């Protein structure tokens, strides 16, 4: 029997119970208060810090993040010339036939449209993901290898940015257009993807995370996840959300059910969820809006008609799947709520329907949240007045739709909240997410009073979203998100009690340790995994 006792700090059991001053873990499970402690028990001195249920990651892409780390760092590059130089340096040391990497900041070029010729210093195909992963920038060699030219029509549900003469510019928008090129690139080796997932899991553990919703899993990615789980190197549990392909639906559903059944029983891995991209993103005009964009005569590029989405979500429910819906625009949000209406009775019986992002919600749709048991998984780090917001997003929305990421309003209306980062779009830093949700400011305190401050959450509400909210989203509320007797000991130890410091000071709080089922997966002093 292995017994660990945590003491000399504050222990937040859950969002409603009194704090505890001691927590006893027996064989990886939270023991009742007052349980006997043997002489050989291990003691962890919390040094005045805060012990919480471990954070959950309600929406992330660990495999994409792990793959991205192989290439050059592009996120901080502020000029096209800097990116091109880093890619050329990468090409000089890599013998890969294709260079696929990311992710670049689309705000450095007006309108976010990048020219293939700017990457033509490399003689091999180059494909770079933008930070949104809904857009790529390719060089001329990649276009030639894929046979994409002026005669290539835009694919259904995708766009090829073009020059005035009709030739492809070098920017491809949304998955069907991106796949015109990426379908010709070699697939990553399973061994490389296992390394990527191992690194990603350790990175999540360093941020206090023990469970992640892999919110975009393609069928061809599943073998790497299974191999990583079999290797024993995954230090986080994961649920794989298989992507519903609108081009192949509904014939695809049987395949998704078969894959989920094959994964069933794999330690640390589940496949309970189907992911729908209801629309795209605002910055490239593919998010679905109820009315036209402020700067373009389009309402976006919805991937699913509202009627088809209702039917598809109902089919997933009947097949035993939970549903995870990417919805950015207010049109997509309305369609997602219509789909939830279609499985209302299943939601009452325990089915989970999560709407991720919910960037723009029409005020008329907020009251619907009171009657629908849905979870909204917000990405709180995005609720900022940053360059993306001021240079790309707000000009597209216009002043009549400037209210975004309405966390407080959604919760007040009746939605359950969870948090995710959408990593690698943003870092999987739940502390940064909590701080932003509470302040609506960047680390420099901009803007004064917070951006759209009426949508701020309290610290306790934000902690709940990052812990019990994610657990509920995953259907694991009896196993995760709290420190009640009988629950697995998934824990995160922080240097400070977030509730007793100024919200801006959360930026200085650190993760000291993470435990999954009572086994330590991260130690601050060594920044390595201590045990698996």
Q: For residue 81, count CB atoms less than 10 angstroms from its CB and return exposed for 0-12, middle for 13-18, buried for 19 or more.
A: exposed
Q: What is the pLDDT of residue 252?
A: 98
Stretches where the chain sits below pLDDT 70 are: 526-532
SS3 string, 48-89, reads CCEEEECEEEEEECHHHHHHHCCCCCCCCCCCHHHHHHHHHH
- Quote the tokens at residue 144: 């030639």
DSSP run (H or E) holding 233: none
Q: Are strands 20-26 and 3-11 parallel, antiparallel or unpaired?
A: antiparallel
Q: State how far the Cα of 444 lies from the Cα of 470, in Å rounded to an integer.
A: 28
Q: What is the pLDDT of residue 521?
A: 98
Q: What is the pLDDT of residue 514?
A: 98
Break the chain into its structural domains and give their ranges: 3-54+487-523, 97-182, 244-473
Q: What is the CATH number of domain 97-182?
A: 3.10.310.70
Whether the link from the prior residue into 103 is cis, omega within 30° of 0, is yes
Q: State how far the Cα of 322 lies from the Cα of 340, in Å rounded to an integer.
A: 11
Q: What is the pLDDT of residue 102?
A: 87
> Tell me: domain 244-473, CATH 3.20.20.140, correct?
yes
Task: Name the one residue in this structure whose structure tokens are 């998984």.
Answer: 377
Q: What is the pLDDT of residue 367?
A: 96
User: Cβ of 495: how many Cβ atoms within 10 Å?
Assistant: 16
- The domain at 3-54+487-523 falls in which architecture? Roll (2.30)
């Amino acid at each position: 029997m292995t017994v660990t006792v945590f003491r000399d700090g504050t222990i937040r059991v859950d969002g409603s119970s009194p704090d505890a001053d001691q927590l006893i873990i027996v064989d990886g499970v939270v023991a009742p208060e007052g349980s006997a402690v043997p002489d050989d028990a291990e003691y962890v001195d919390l040094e005045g810090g805060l012990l919480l249920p471990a954070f959950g990651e309600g929406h992330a892409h660990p495999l994409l993040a792990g793959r991205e780390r192989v290439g050059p760092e592009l996120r901080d590059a502020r000029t096209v010339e800097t990116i091109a130089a880093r890619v050329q340096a990468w090409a000089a040391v890599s013998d890969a036939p294709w260079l696929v990497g990311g992710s670049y900041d689309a705000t450095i070029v007006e309108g976010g449209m990048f020219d293939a010729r700017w990457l033509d210093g490399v003689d091999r195909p180059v494909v770079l993901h933008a930070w949104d992963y809904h857009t790529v920038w390719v060089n001329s060699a990649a276009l030639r290898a894929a046979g994409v030219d002026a005669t290539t029509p835009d694919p259904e549900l995708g766009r090829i940015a073009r020059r005035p003469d009709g030739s492809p510019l070098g920017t491809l928008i949304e998955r069907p257009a991106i796949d015109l090129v990426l379908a010709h690139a070699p697939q990553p080796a399973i061994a490389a993807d296992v390394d990527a997932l191992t690194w990603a899991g350790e990175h999540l553990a360093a941020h206090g995370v023990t469970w992640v919703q892999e919110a975009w899993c393609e069928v061809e990615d599943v073998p790497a996840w299974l191999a990583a789980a079999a290797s024993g190197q995954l230090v986080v549990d994961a649920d794989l959300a298989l992507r519903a392909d609108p081009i192949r639906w509904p014939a695809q559903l049987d395949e998704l059910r078969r894959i989920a059944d094959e994964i069933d029983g794999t330690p640390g891995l589940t496949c309970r969820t189907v992911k729908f991209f209801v629309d795209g993103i605002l910055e490239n005009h593919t998010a679905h809006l109820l009315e036209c964009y402020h700067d373009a005569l389009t309402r976006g590029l919805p991937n699913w008609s509202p009627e088809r989405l209702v039917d598809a979500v109902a089919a997933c429910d009947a097949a035993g799947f939970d549903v995870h819906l990417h919805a950015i625009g207010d049109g997509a949000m309305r369609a997602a709520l219509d789909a939830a209406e279609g499985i209302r009775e299943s939601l009452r019986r325990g089915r989970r329907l999560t709407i991720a992002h919910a960037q723009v919600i029409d005020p008329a749709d907020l009251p619907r949240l009171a009657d629908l048991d849905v979870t909204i998984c917000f990405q709180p780090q995005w609720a900022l007045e940053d360059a993306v917001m001021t240079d790309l997003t707000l000009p597209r929305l216009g002043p009549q739709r400037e209210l975004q990421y309405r966390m407080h309003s959604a919760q007040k209306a009746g939605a359950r909240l969870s948090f995710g980062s959408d990593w690698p779009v943003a870092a999987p830093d739940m502390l940064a997410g909590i701080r932003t949700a509470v302040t609506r400011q960047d680390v420099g305190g901009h803007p004064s009073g917070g951006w759209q401050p009426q949508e701020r959450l309290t610290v306790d509400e934000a902690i709940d979203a990052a812990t019990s909210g994610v657990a509920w989203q995953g259907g694991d509320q009896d196993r995760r998100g709290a420190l009640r007797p009988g629950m697995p000991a998934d824990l995160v130890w922080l240097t400070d009690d977030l509730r007793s410091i100024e919200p801006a000071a959360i930026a200085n709080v650190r993760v000291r340790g993470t435990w999954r089922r009572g086994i330590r997966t991260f130690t601050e002093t060594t920044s390595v995994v201590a045990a698996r």
